[in-house]
Structure 1
Amino acid sequence: MKLTDPVIKAAKPQEKPYSLADGEGLAVYVQPTGAKWWRYRYRFANKAKMVSLGVYPDVTLRAARVERDRLQALLKQGVDPSQNRQEEKLFAKIAAENSFEAVARRWWDNWKEVRTERHAHYVMRRLEADVFPVIGNRPVTEISAPLLLMTVKKIEARGALDIAKRALETCGQILRYAVAHGLAERNPAADIKPADALKARKKTNYARLDAKELPELLRKIDEYDGQLLTKLALQLMAHTFVRTSELIGARWAEFDFEAKQWRIPAERMKMDTPHIVPLTEQALAIIQQIKIISGGLALLFPSERSNSKSMSNNTILYALYRMGYHSRMTGHGFRGIASTILHEQGFTHEHIELQLAHSPRNSVSSAYNHAKYLSQRALMMQQWGNYLEAIKAGAKVFQLKIA
């Protein structure tokens, strides 16, 4: 007689295990503990064998019968169900070891060796946030171009166009690694060009003033009635034209006052290479004022809330807003103004680009030397400091002296 759910539920544990047969090799075994295990008995190559199908009621009567029928179909094909199960477990283990996430983490361990800790951490964080949740569990051999496209399109849908493009490029590197190590036969990312798959991002320049408006801005900075450290940060930014993140993260340990240099380590630079900022007389005078406020701390520009955290990016921006430059000027704008004026005054393009930390970094360019043309750059920076001092004081015409 076939089993029914009421019969199975009513079965009580006894001192010894006993079975309730459903027919065609399927039975439920009631244990002294009360657990009820499904078993399927069969013969293969004239040998009696058995496989477990799980525990009732997690595996229902209907599900157990479906699985029995599947195993019977294997027997008719000459396949041993027990051996088949072992092979499936092995294949699943191999697939898990070669999942996209597992391969990506092996690639990352190899790739990160020549990258900065900050950059490597960012790449893994983006994979964990945007890629692994979608395709991380998929065997790397099952990753297809449409699957990759779906992944990056989800990122694009929230407006993160740059992150979507970088995610696609990173996936391509991971899959090339898989091919190189015999884990996949081809790289499907090669079939997708970011320009064809993702929306184009309209390039926008940072808001900045015209050079003729710079004298008034410098005077307004001097008259700024907000936090003194914020005013000093703006003054130092004007004289050094570093990026906002490089400025607010400045540490006293980076300054060599004897050499009159600010040496920014690679991990704090956008291009992942160290950078030297020659310190002018004007910049050193500003730094001496900063030292009175934060000289005993690690950071030049600590947050108002915590000495261990740096000033916010928005602190600079909001100060410019308060001075009347909303949507007209940003911290980054000082870089553009300096570049324009220095070029107009005839300074060497390469010297300016090096000081802006814009040096090209690709496989065909020469190795980046952060100390290249340092003496020429130091003279240029001092001329820039003199220029700012003169126009702030009201000089109508001031020609920088080119060494």
Structure 2
Amino acid sequence: MSLKAAEIRASQPRKNAYKMADERGLFLLIQPSGARLWRLKYRFRGYEKKLNLGKYPEIGLAEARERRDEARRLIASGIDPAVARKQAELEAAMSQATTFRVVADEYIEKMACEGKAASTLVKMRWFRDVLEPDIGHRPIAEIIPHEMLDALRRVERRGHRETAHRLRAFADRVFRYAIVTLRATSSPADILRGALTAPKVTHRAAVLEPRKVGALLRAIDGYDGRPETRIALQLAPHLFVRPGELRKAEWSEFDLDEAVWRIPAEKMKMAQPHMVPLSRQSLALVLQLRAIANHGTFLFPAFHTNKRCMCDGTLNQALRRLGYANDEMTAHGFRAIASTFLNESGLWNPDAIERALAHRDRNAVRAAYHRGTHWAERVQMAQWWSDHLDELRAGGEVIVANFQRAR
């Protein structure tokens, strides 16, 4: 005999719990507290079991019967509904705990353990934080391409096209990490390749005409700000390292007797240690810094403390002070000057120039082969380049003939 809705509404708690039976194993358990709980009694592989189907009145009689019928279909298929429910609850709990933020944090920690440069890790954490409001809280396996696209378009609409592209690439790496760690099956960021507006290609400003380079060098010599800033600007064209690598230079990395600066991997963009030969002019400038009696860790300390290096924008601000606009010359532009002049001289092996610029070869085998080569040529090239800079500074005639490469 089946239950009636009116009978359920009229039911009252008693001193002891009691049951009101429906059909096919479904019953309502009335507790002394007044709670009314739907239960299903069934047999699975010879054992009698009970399944909780919910609480009345949140689950009405009709819905309780639907849940009973679904459970009995599972039983008929050889699946224990109690086990199936527990697995579903565990999967849901794991999905909720495995958010994009959690996986991104794991991925960044993995990159740190693999020796990625500190600057790279900082950028990754910034990308993670930008995506946090949109998808950070979402289970990574549930994020769909439309969600990902909406998060990227928010950045793109603000005019930050390049940032949007970098965010997509970072998100794709996180999703791929989730896939190989069995927490996702696809990368919605990968599907979005080509969906964003291509950023405008902008080249870092640099003075590339020989006479203007000479004028720039003379202007730097006349810089009347902090001596450390002036010497940093003077060293920049000779060493042509990245501005961040120059700012963070430490005394412990310099071997003045061997005339070499050894930059550790964690400071390099490509996460590979880099050696910079020091010309006579570069050594002289480093010794000038020594004479300033800077006893801190960094060659170029911050203004108020020697426990930190100078700020990121210091060199560019100094160039602005010298009258060079942002679209005319930047601190990074010294690399473009060196690369252009060294390649156009025809004197040096292009691989030696690339190694001097600390560029990574896209071919892994070739990169491994060339890692330890060209040092002698680079030492010779560093001195030639410093001498050439002196000639440009003095306003001398610029050599543009195509010489035979140095051996």
Q: Is TM more than 0.5 here? A: yes
Name the residue aligned to 2:166. 163
Matched, 1:225 2:224: yes
TM norm structure 1? 0.76
List alignment gaps of at least 5 residues for structure 1: none
Distance (whole Å) between structure 2 residues aligned to residue 21 and residue 305 of structure 1: 80
Matched, 1:133 2:135: yes
Contact 2:107 / 2:174 at 8 angstroms: preserved in 1? no
Give a deviation string over 1:185-243, Cα, whole Å, max 9, x none: x756697372x333222221101113321111111111112222111111111211111
Contact 2:296 / 2:306 at 8 angstroms: preserved in 1? yes
SS state at 1:44 partner: strand
Q: Is the alpha carbon distance of 1:66 and 1:315 closer, same or farther for their aligned partners in structure 2, counting shifts above 3 Å?
A: farther
Contact 1:273 / 1:370 at 8 angstroms: preserved in 2? no
Give the drift of 1:113. 6.0
Distance (whole Å) between structure 1 residues aligned to residue 304 and residue 62 of structure 2: 64
**What's the Cα RMSD here?**
4.2
Q: Is the alpha carbon distance of 1:67 and 1:299 closer, same or farther for their aligned partners in structure 2, counting shifts above 3 Å?
A: farther
Give a deviation string over 1:39-95, Cα, whole Å, max 9, x none: 2233323987555567xxxx7833466763443333553649x94243222244346
Name the residue aligned to 1:355. 356
Matches within 5 A, 1:248-287: 248-287=247-286
Name the residue aligned to 1:374. 375
Name the residue aligned to 1:74. 70
- How much identity, in percent, do the aligned residues show? 29
Deviates further, 301-310 or 218-227: 301-310
Match of 1:44 among 32, 42, 45: 42
Contact 1:53 / 1:67 at 8 angstroms: preserved in 2? no
Match of 2:83 among 75, 81, 86: 86
Distance (whole Å) between structure 1 residues aligned to residue 135 and residue 21 of structure 2: 42
Distance (whole Å) between structure 1 residues aligned to residue 68 and residue 145 of structure 2: 39
Contact 2:148 / 2:189 at 8 angstroms: preserved in 1? no
Contact 2:42 / 2:50 at 8 angstroms: preserved in 1? no
Contact 2:39 / 2:51 at 8 angstroms: preserved in 1? yes
Name the residue aligned to 2:3. none
Name the residue aligned to 1:204. 202
Contact 2:149 / 2:192 at 8 angstroms: preserved in 1? no
Contact 1:41 / 1:48 at 8 angstroms: preserved in 2? no
What is the one-letter code of the residue matched to 1:259?
A: E
Contact 2:27 / 2:38 at 8 angstroms: preserved in 1? yes
SS state at 2:40 partner: strand
Distance (whole Å) between structure 1 residues aligned to residue 382 and residue 376 of structure 2: 10
Give a deviation string over 1:129-164, Cα, whole Å, max 9, x none: 53893685144xx67xxx246415522530323323
Deviates further, 250-259 or 360-369: 360-369
Matches within 5 A, 1:142-153: 147-148=144-145, 150-152=147-149
Equivalent pairs counted in the alignment come to 378
List alignment gaps of at least 5 residues for structure 2: 1-5
SS state at 2:297 partner: coil
